[in-house]
Amino acid sequence: MIEMNAERSKLQEELLDLVAKEGMVEPSDISPDKRLEDLDIQSADFIMILMAIEENYGAYISVDNDLADMQTVQDLLDLAVAKIEESRKEAQA
């Protein structure tokens, strides 16, 4: 279980870096409890974030359905990690 938590923490750190890079936000401005709207990420940048997640991790996140209830960076991280883990399980099956 500890190994899984360490892997998840590493993945969340990678995702935070990806959000900062693709969303053109200073990494120091991003924290899990930060509201997405407060980061001033434009919709085109958000699409780039989702495309980068799909490209780097093979996990598809639907803009319409999956993102509807997201408010914080942690919401995005939780969704991305869940989709990535789901994608990895499917690849192993």
- pLDDT tens, 6-63? 888 999 999 999 999 999 999 999 988 999 889 988 888 888 999 999 999 999 988 8
pTM, to two decimals: 0.86
CATH number at residue 24: 1.10.1200.10
Count of CB atoms situated within 10 Å of the CB of 46 = 19
- 4 pLDDT above the threshold of 80: no
The domain tally of the chain equals 1
- pLDDT for res 44: 85
Q: Examine the pLDDT at 66 and tell me if it is beyond 80.
A: no
Vertex 58, ends 57 and 62: CA angle to 5°?
110
35 three-state secondary structure = strand
Structural domain span for residue 84: 2-92
The band of 71, judged by pLDDT with boundaries at 50, 70 and 90, is: confident
Q: How far apart are CA 43 and CA 86, in angstroms?
A: 25
pLDDT of 2 reads 54
pLDDT score for 59: 93
